[in-house]
Structure 1
Amino acid sequence: MNIKNSNSNIKDFTQINKFKGKTFVIKYGGSIMSNDAAKQAFVEDIALMTTAGIKVVIVHGGGPLINTWVNKTGGENKFIKGLRVTNKETMEIVEMVLSGNVNKRLSSILSIRGLNAIGISGKDSNLIQAKKKFVYDDTKKIDIGFVGEVVSINKNLLLNMLCSGYIPVISPVGSDKEGNSYNINADYAAAAISGVLKAEKLLIMTDIDGVYTDITDPSTLLSSITVEETKEYINQGIVYGGMIPKLECCVAAINKGTKNVHLVDGREKHSLLLNIIKNCGTRIITAKGAN
């Protein structure tokens, strides 16, 4: 790994060492999985982080591949407020893609690198217990199918894995007490997991630089945004589409005990290390002036 000679010009790794023993939850977005260079840099970053003694939990998405398979089977990719409308047939595709394909591919490339990665589903050992989620348009209640809302996380399972030196790689498919499977937005799953673990950092890797007040103007990229500002931007329509659940989950993570939450550009090589060293991307904070 030759990070120092990358265009990031990282020369000082001392800041990484101060996180020894801390827990980082990383949401690995499906939209960056096809970028081979970024994917390889991601694996190298995880290797360096674990070498520095950081405990890592990975929650992955897989939206683009789900879209592909829904199209192949003649289905419709439909979203409401950034969440996938998931009927019974789509739920089968979601589980096949996330738990059977993406999860095993990601855990495999980490394991080949020599890391102790174990791919699991949210259904394993009741890792993610869920219930049916509804969305609302003003006062109108909308049924979006087998989309789940996190009820509880099996904290002990994760702690046992982390204490044993493993990296949990989690597919965000949960189930309820009756055994029904639910498609859980990976951002929400990562937020719930980071909250219950009181993680030092939740790093949400996505395919943009961060939060903009005007997506067409690069100069409007925000280095930080407060909890209240996220609500205002959503209500005003400044933030829309898939960015809505991302920011909502960031707020939820902070409210549940995560110490630091960041949106980082997963397309940029070594974006995880850059965040640790330079705080790149957008940081969600409780209020102006918060550390």
Structure 2
Amino acid sequence: MDEFERQSEERGWATAKTLAEALPYIQIYDRETVVIKYGGHAMGETAVAKQFAADVVLLKLMGVNPVVVHGGGPQISAMLDKAGVKSNFVDGLRVTDRDTMAVAEMVLSGAVNKEIAHWISVAGKEADVRGIGLSGKDAGLLTVEKTTRTKRDPDSLIEHEVDLGFVGEPTKVDPKLIAGLIASETDDWVPVIAPIGVADDGQTYNVNADTVAGAVAGSLHAKRMLLLTDVKGVMDRNGDIIRQMTLSEAQALIDDGTASGGMIPKLQTAMAAVRAGVEAVVILDGRRPHAMLVELFTEYGAGTLVKA
């Protein structure tokens, strides 16, 4: 046996060992719904997008029901820059005027949504697993209301309302369309949802993708919600990753300042999703290859798990 054959044999035994160790976790997630928030700058890299799609297809083939909710902030910003439109942000939320809303919907519901659905369909072609692109406007999936924010003047300490334009917050999720796709006995669909919603008056709004993912996961009573980000997870004061925490521990991290910046809304989204009926939410690094598989099918996972 030459060196190549020896290494191939060792890889074969290692693969078999990995599959055997994953069996208990595969059984745990069999026919369970997992909502995946896909975002971050890695979305713009074709190789990473293809790997993500392949992992989603593998989840489907292993008996999991994946539902993808995606963002697209960098793509929106790039398109606005090309159009010469300057973006303003308040507390991390893009101020969205009518022109910006039109661009946001075009990018999110169009290019980004369809590309993700396409790569899932390509990865799942041989197994007949197909991605299907949707937005919150389809079949009354996501009803929203205009977001209101207040900001305190640092000099006068007087709070005043900030108009974010066409930015919305979910008020209702109608999961019938998603549930129907998941339950289909003739096709293996993977819903891919753009974070666009409609208010009762018919106005279209841009919605934070993390918030949409949490609302969708709650409506589906998902087993897990995976928040794919650009960081490993939630860090303690020593810079070490926290593997697991309760809702009260998550709130304490926000209150004492350990969690700061963009991690605060992610923890708030995780807590809201758990309160809405999701068993647990995991914040993990979506840039790492196979992070979702490591999280769901190995003992220690790949990020920070938040549960009741």
* TM-score above 0.5, yes or no: yes
Deviation for aligned residue 1:31 = 1.9
Q: Confirm or deny: 8 A CA contact 2:215 2:273 kept in the other structure.
A: yes
Q: Secondary structure at the match of 1:220?
A: coil
| TM-score (norm. length: structure 1) | 0.89
Identify the range of structure 1 (192-201 vs 68-77) with the bigger mean alpha-carbon deviation.
68-77
Task: State the distance in 2 between where 1:41 and 1:86 align.
Answer: 32
Deviation for aligned residue 1:73 = 1.8
Deviation for aligned residue 1:236 = 4.2
Gapped regions of structure 1 (runs ≥ 5): 287-291
* Aligned match of 1:289: none
- Root-mean-square deviation (CA, aligned residues, Å) is 2.2
Deviation for aligned residue 1:191 = 0.2
Question: What code does the residue aligned with 1:178 have?
Answer: D
Larger radius of gyration: 2
1:85 aligns with 2:95: yes
* Aligned match of 1:132: 146
Deviation for aligned residue 1:213 = 3.4
Q: Confirm or deny: 8 A CA contact 1:82 1:244 kept in the other structure.
A: no
Identify the range of structure 1 (112-121 vs 139-148) with the bigger mean alpha-carbon deviation.
139-148
Identify the range of structure 1 (235-244 vs 63-72) with the bigger mean alpha-carbon deviation.
235-244
Q: Confirm or deny: 8 A CA contact 1:129 1:176 kept in the other structure.
A: yes
Partner of residue 189 from structure 1, selected from 212, 226, 229: 212
Change (3 A) 1:238 1:145: farther
Task: State the distance in 1 between where 2:163 and 2:240 align.
Answer: 35
* Aligned match of 2:3: none
* Aligned match of 2:304: 282
1:118 aligns with 2:140: no
Q: Confirm or deny: 8 A CA contact 2:53 2:116 kept in the other structure.
A: no
* Aligned match of 2:82: 72
Identify the range of structure 1 (42-51 vs 239-248) with the bigger mean alpha-carbon deviation.
239-248
List structure 1 runs of 4+ shifted beyond 6 angstroms: none
Written as runs of structure 1 = structure 2, the 5 A alignment for 1:1-291 is 11-12=18-19, 13-14=22-23, 15-113=25-123, 114=125, 115-137=129-151, 139-164=159-184, 165-214=188-237, 219-276=239-296, 277=298, 278-286=300-308
Identify the range of structure 1 (76-85 vs 146-155) with the bigger mean alpha-carbon deviation.
76-85
Task: State the distance in 1 between where 2:79 and 2:45 align.
Answer: 19
Gapped regions of structure 2 (runs ≥ 5): 1-7, 153-158
What is the percent sequence identity of the aligned residues? Answer: 36
Q: Secondary structure at the match of 1:144?
A: coil
Deviation for aligned residue 1:237 = 4.0
Q: Confirm or deny: 8 A CA contact 2:151 2:161 kept in the other structure.
A: yes
Q: Secondary structure at the match of 2:18?
A: coil
Task: State the distance in 1 between where 2:281 and 2:40 align.
Answer: 19
| TM-score (norm. length: structure 2) | 0.84
